[in-house]
Amino acid sequence: MNGDTICATATAAGMGGIAVIRISGPEALTYTLPCLKKRGKPIELPDRQAVFCTFNSSGGDVLDEVVATAFHAPHSYTGENVIEISCHASTYIEQNILQTLIASGCRLAEPGEFTQRAYLNGKMDLSQAEAVADLIASESRAQHRMAMQQMRGSFSNELNGLRDKLLHFTSLMELELDFSEEDVTFANRDELLTFAKDIVDRINRLEQSFRLGNAIKKGIPVAIVGPTNAGKSTLLNRLVGEEKAIVSNIHGTTRDVIEDTVVIDGVLYRFIDTAGLRHTEDVVESMGIERSFKKLKEAAIVLVILDITEIIKNGLPAVYLDVIEHLVPEQRLITVFNKIDLADEDRIACFNESVLKNGSVAYVSASKDRQMDYLRSEIAKAAALPSVAEGDIVISNARHHALLLKANRSLNQVIQGLTNGLSGDLLSQDLREAIHLLGEITGGEITSENILHNIFKHFCIGK
């Protein structure tokens, strides 16, 4: 990390009431204070006290009336001297303030550089820093809760506890090597075996939580499939609450995949409206149908939309059986009989549900918004997400998951080595590898700037 003083707008771009410009670095006060005046006179910025003043350009012109707050090192987000300037959210004002700061000696911050400095200065570990990005991107209650838990260090504390115990055993193993000629044993092999099995069980639980965490983070994919004119696009529009897809009584209107997200019971779902399934000679429509079956395979939940009036007349269509054949055991099926407002209620009640292969059933009218809440509840049931208690640790980061898998392999080799009576130097090597891999998650073992850059480049500028 260099000694540059950086600056950037910390709030989202666009017109608004207030924007926040953040400055961080050893010369933050030196570069910023000359620009701040009160009744034309220089001001001081006491630690963590908001001061109303003006921000002046290098030529002395007043750019805006602002509120400036200083956070003196090390008691700041980055651990450096930090100044936050709250100004009016005018693009002109923001750009001129930044240009003035850059002319004074600051440099424009790179994406994620403030959080990267917080990590490098020991204000948070790497897994907590990554949780900052997840918190900013959270769109649902579940995403927010998961990111907050990780940012507060629950995952880090779990890993640090495991690493400390592994280091203890590794130290004893390596101490034995210094007394190898005297045949001295410091590390109790039975105790180490018991602990190794326990830590593998705990890592397994963390690994298994990734399915839940990944679903919460990215949204559960739900494919909407079915014959043409069954009401798929109307259903999507009703679920997302806007006219996302074109609705028409012309067959084959939807020719490409349309996606949008909806939060149900605090969980994010990604709904995917697909082209209607039918036999067609139209080349473009055929490509859309091919994409429909591809998206069907990627979905965790499949909604098959059928026109109840057509079913009463002609029974289940052949495309329904085609969909069933494409399902895999992990997928959940919900058969949705649409347009109940156009069908005789007695005929609907007499419909034989026993012909359905699996999954659940919902009778709705998407156009009239009938029974849509019931459908939403069935979707939530189909997601089958386990409940998460307050203290449960759920991982959602693919990098963390990959490192846990590798650490687990090293620890299983330790268990196998202990069972087969391997020497301490070989066991110590596998233990060291597991410690290193767990350390990479929190950043304790990361030395490559390329790895850090790859992690922080996905952050927004100003964070």
Binding residues for (6S)-5-formyl-5,6,7,8-tetrahydrofolate: 22, 84, 123, 463
DSSP, res 102: H
How far is residue 343 from each of residues 238, 314, 315, 347, 374, measured CA to CA in Å? 20, 14, 14, 7, 19
User: In this structure, are residues 35 and 100 in contact, taking their beta carbons and an 8 Å threshold?
Assistant: yes
Residues belonging to the binding site for GTP are 229-234, 248-254, 273-276
Residues belonging to the binding site for Mg(2+) are 233, 254
Determine the distance from the C-alpha atom of residue 372 to the mean position of all C-alpha atoms in its chain, rounded to a whole number: 28
Residues belonging to the binding site for K(+) are 229, 248, 250, 253
C-alpha to C-alpha distance for 436 and 434, rounded to whole angstroms: 5
Residues 6+ apart with CB under 8 A from 181: none
- DSSP calls for 177-219: HHTGGGT---S-HHHHHHHHHHHHHHHHHHHHHHHHHHHHHH-
448 CB-contact burial (10 Å; exposed 0-12 / middle 13-18 / buried 19+): exposed
What amino acid is encoded at 163 in this protein?
R
C-alpha to C-alpha distance for 76 and 6, rounded to whole angstroms: 14
Residues belonging to the binding site are 22, 84, 123, 229-234, 248-254, 273-276, 463
C-alpha to C-alpha distance for 411 and 403, rounded to whole angstroms: 12
